[in-house]
Amino acid sequence: MIDHNTVQQILDTADIVDVVSDFVALKHRGANWIGLCPFHNDRRPSFYVSRAKGICKCFACGEGGSAVNFIMKHEQLSYPEALRYLARKYHIEIQEKELTDEEKQAQSEREAMLMLNEWACSYFEKQLHETQMGQDVGLTYFRERGFNDATIKEFRLGYSSEGYNDFYQAAIAQGFNPKLLFDVGLCIPDDRGGHDRFRGRVMFPIMNIAGKVIAFGGRTLRKDKEVAKYVNSPESIIYSKRDVIYGLYQAKREISKQDKCFIVEGYADVISMHQAGFKNVIASSGTALTEGHIHAIRRFTTNVTEMFDGDEAGVKAAIRGVDMLLKEGLNIKVLPLPPEDDPDTFVRAHSYVEVEDYIKENEADFIHFKSSVVLKDAQNDPIKRTAAITDVVKSIAIIPDEIARMVYAKECSNLFSMDEQAILRQIKHYRNKFIEQWRKERQQQQAREQRLAQGANPPSNSPAPDEMAPPPLPEDFQDDYSPQAGPAPIAPITTPPSHSSRATYDVTVQEREVIRLIINYGMCHLIDTEYQDGSVVPTTVLEFINNELEYDKMSFSDPLFKRVFEISKQQIKPFYADLQRFNDGLKERMEQFITQEMSENNDEVLDALDSAALINAQERKENEIKSKAALKEINERQEYRASYLQRVLCSIDDDQVRQLACDMATDNLPQLSKIHTQYTVIVEERDKLIDLVPVRLYNWKNALLELKINEIKNKIAKADPNELPQLMKALQEQYSVRHKLAAIIGDRVVNPK
């Protein structure tokens, strides 16, 4: 358990831009940051991050939320796990008691596996550095490969001793469950209990993008051929070969910075290149690249250069995997090395500058490279030649960008001495085929997702129809091969309400709207309430709504909304305490601001010619700065008030409340849609609360009234004649309330029908 103060400290410290940046390359745009969404296969930036609001949101797939939410979803962690992650990131110490056996058992399997791997990784590192065997065998090997201490440390290389079950014994002694050791693949069960999978090997931990150890690769140092050179962890719930790229954790920042990455084959290649100063290098670990790999890479760059051994086998392998990359719209280059080299040997034999020069001279466009290879293969055999051309044309047809396809067609016609139009026709033919195939795949996928969604979506959380319109997509989101390109916008599955439930439905819609106002603006100052004793008390949106509900004896009918409301009310006291602190700090900041502005503008003032002009200029400047400061102060205070509840609710330990708050908070991220920015003056909802809040409350009351009227009408339809007079009277009463209510709000009553 993490104590409340620590949780608060973590939430206060975590900066959403900083947190998201660890996984997504973000660019500044207006008041927000944007990048490629890590939750779907994003081609154009759809992922928005608002630092002011502390939230992020994808406008294509709808994922997002607070920093805690983001980490939960991205790293597949539970709420407390995500908090621990953030605590580690910001070096906030969490006092945790030693876990009992039961607690260890109770923790999620995933967390337990990661914990075990982390412990194992440190264990292997210790074995390498602190045991005689580790130093003599493991460290000597790494040194022979030219790895220095910093590199060994950065990649957390280790050593697993020769003993039959040394690791197994140590892990059991540490309190780890044997089943966990087997599940994660570090040990293999046998009739003596278990033994070590990686015994007598140097260890390469495989980390996910967040730096968590999810698997290991072990290389034997024995010379005999009966032993497999490399052994890898088996797949588990934390490790899927299809999605993991070796070295991405260490390389991601550099990849994003250079907007380019190199793909090599093995662990040693990555490490050697990294040490040689080429830090934007990753490895597919011997398997062909999958969509999962590409998805991971494309968060950081679309420019990929494949490096491979220049021998025939290397070239063939290089060509095979690339169509997948083309389809995803990546810009692919190839860099064949001299036939006797691999990246590891190559960078060790050459200086940084030599390698750089080699890259400059030999990096080639993939289509060109493939064309020359297949042509050379075909020689003058006409049948082979036709097959070769078809092969290249198919690769071109996969490329999503039309202009790129046309350029390649032109070059192809030169290379193959063929009519350009004929090649273009061929490309079109294959492209149509691919599109048909992808469309089918997409439809199947959508059908699957829809079935899942229908089974899982509780009706009470469904948004109102007027909120169902999908958010605006970035202008160039659509790509060319399908009208429904990109993932389907998340359209909540809402069955249109039947006539009889219409009134109930309206109530939910109105309640939802009131809750939305509370989440986004609950602590904003709404009005000054004057009490009978003459005192005037500033009242927040939340307090105003609460007063009204108490007066009318109303409450939320939806249990989730009710919970949000109750939690929000509990925040009133801490809010006022915090507001005091905030105001004190703000006052200080504004004084500093004025002093600084004045001193910066001194020169300007001193330029004045005579003393009268000097005083004038000084006064003018001072007034200018003071009004600027006053405006700034108002803005900051409003921003603070507006974000207070939303910050609390978006990070709270209640899955449903947190989800709802995040959805509603991200619903109105400002300045995101083009519609907003079309106007020169953006009137924010926050500035219209004084009109908005009462209207929404009355709308809700009105909907409740309609519900009651409806119920009475239904009763009348089925009633005994002797019950009728009473029911008619009740109906009349409700009508008169409706009349009064309508008089209060006049034509402001807008029913969202």
Kindly state the smallest distance separating residue 38's Cβ from Zn ion, in Å: 8
Distances (CA, A) of 628 to 9, 293, 591, 624: 32, 51, 12, 6
Kindly state the smallest distance separating residue 445's Cβ from Zn ion, in Å: 15
Kindly state the smallest distance separating residue 179's Cβ from Zn ion, in Å: 36
The residue (of 39 and 159) whose beta carbon lies closer to Zn ion is 39
> Which helix (H) or strand (E) segment is 525 a member of?
strand 525-530
The residue (of 62 and 158) whose beta carbon lies closer to Zn ion is 62
Token digits of residue 723: 């019950």
Kindly state the smallest distance separating residue 47's Cβ from Zn ion, in Å: 6
Give the separation between CA 272 and CA 278, rounded to whole angstroms. 9
Kindly state the smallest distance separating residue 344's Cβ from Zn ion, in Å: 37
**What dihedral do alpha carbons 684, 689, 694, 698 form, nearest 10°?**
30
Q: Does 116 bind Zn ion (CB under 5 A)?
A: no
The residue (of 218 and 471) whose beta carbon lies closer to Zn ion is 471
Angle at CA of residue 644, ends 641 and 650, nearest 5°: 150
| Residues 129 to 158 in contact with Zn ion, rule: CB under 5 A | none
The residue (of 475 and 720) whose beta carbon lies closer to Zn ion is 475
Kindly state the smallest distance separating residue 58's Cβ from Zn ion, in Å: 3
Single out the segment in contact with Zn ion by CB under 5 A; choices: 32-40, 199-207, 258-266, 664-672: 32-40
For CA atoms 168, 173, 174, 177, give the dihedral sign: positive
284 three-state secondary structure:
coil
Single out the segment in contact with Zn ion by CB under 5 A; choices: 40-48, 175-183, 196-204, 491-499: 40-48
Single out the segment in contact with Zn ion by CB under 5 A; choices: 31-39, 202-210, 534-542, 621-629: 31-39
> Which helix (H) or strand (E) segment is 530 a member of?
strand 525-530
Kindly state the smallest distance separating residue 359's Cβ from Zn ion, in Å: 34
CB 188 within 8 A of CB 182: yes
Kindly state the smallest distance separating residue 746's Cβ from Zn ion, in Å: 43
The residue (of 61 and 72) whose beta carbon lies closer to Zn ion is 61
The residue (of 25 and 61) whose beta carbon lies closer to Zn ion is 61
Give the separation between CA 718 and CA 708, rounded to whole angstroms. 16
Nearest Cα to Cα of residue 623 among 586, 598, 604, 591: 598
Single out the segment in contact with Zn ion by CB under 5 A; choices: 30-38, 283-291, 488-496, 730-738: 30-38
**Single-letter residue type at 121:** C
The residue (of 37 and 423) whose beta carbon lies closer to Zn ion is 37
Kindly state the smallest distance separating residue 470's Cβ from Zn ion, in Å: 12
Q: Does 40 bind Zn ion (CB under 5 A)?
A: yes
The residue (of 58 and 248) whose beta carbon lies closer to Zn ion is 58
Single out the segment in contact with Zn ion by CB under 5 A; choices: 56-64, 128-136, 215-223, 475-483: 56-64
The residue (of 61 and 82) whose beta carbon lies closer to Zn ion is 61
> Residue 10 CA to chain centroid, in angstroms?
19
**Bridge-partner residues for 282, per DSSP?**
263
The residue (of 234 and 292) whose beta carbon lies closer to Zn ion is 292
Kindly state the smallest distance separating residue 27's Cβ from Zn ion, in Å: 16
Give the separation between CA 655 and CA 448, rounded to whole angstroms. 25
CB 178 within 8 A of CB 194: yes
Give the separation between CA 408 and CA 389, rounded to whole angstroms. 12
Nearest Cα to Cα of residue 604 among 612, 591, 614: 614
Nearest Cα to Cα of residue 67 among 81, 83, 78, 48: 83
Kindly state the smallest distance separating residue 82's Cβ from Zn ion, in Å: 19
Give the separation between CA 100 and CA 652, rounded to whole angstroms. 26
Binding residue for Zn ion, selected from 20, 58, 283, 545, defined by CB under 5 A: 58
The residue (of 45 and 205) whose beta carbon lies closer to Zn ion is 45
Give the separation between CA 33 and CA 27, rounded to whole angstroms. 5
Binding residue for Zn ion, selected from 26, 61, 77, 207, defined by CB under 5 A: 61
Give the separation between CA 307 and CA 526, rounded to whole angstroms. 63
Binding string, 607-646, against Zn ion, x = CB under 5 A?
----------------------------------------
Query: What is the chain's percent helix, strand, coil content, to nearest 5?
Result: 60, 10, 30
CB 409 within 8 A of CB 423: yes
Burial of 105 (0-12, 13-18, 19+ CB in 10 A): exposed
The residue (of 61 and 392) whose beta carbon lies closer to Zn ion is 61
The residue (of 73 and 428) whose beta carbon lies closer to Zn ion is 73
Binding string, 521-560, against Zn ion, x = CB under 5 A?
----------------------------------------
The residue (of 22 and 365) whose beta carbon lies closer to Zn ion is 22
| Residues 648 to 687 in contact with Zn ion, rule: CB under 5 A | none
Single out the segment in contact with Zn ion by CB under 5 A; choices: 55-63, 79-87, 173-181, 388-396: 55-63
CB 65 within 8 A of CB 73: yes
288 three-state secondary structure:
coil
| Residues 205 to 264 in contact with Zn ion, rule: CB under 5 A | none
* Pairing mode of beta strands 187-190, 158-160: unpaired
Kindly state the smallest distance separating residue 457's Cβ from Zn ion, in Å: 19
Size of the site for Zn ion (CB under 5 A): 6
The residue (of 34 and 545) whose beta carbon lies closer to Zn ion is 34
Single out the segment in contact with Zn ion by CB under 5 A; choices: 52-60, 234-242, 456-464, 677-685: 52-60
Nearest Cα to Cα of residue 204 among 156, 153, 252, 245: 156
Kindly state the smallest distance separating residue 37's Cβ from Zn ion, in Å: 3
Kindly state the smallest distance separating residue 650's Cβ from Zn ion, in Å: 18
**Single-letter residue type at 318:** A
Return the residue matching tokens 């219209």.
Answer: 688
Kindly state the smallest distance separating residue 462's Cβ from Zn ion, in Å: 21
Q: Does 39 bind Zn ion (CB under 5 A)?
A: yes
Give the interface with Zn ion as residue ranges (CB under 5 A).
37, 39-40, 58, 60-61
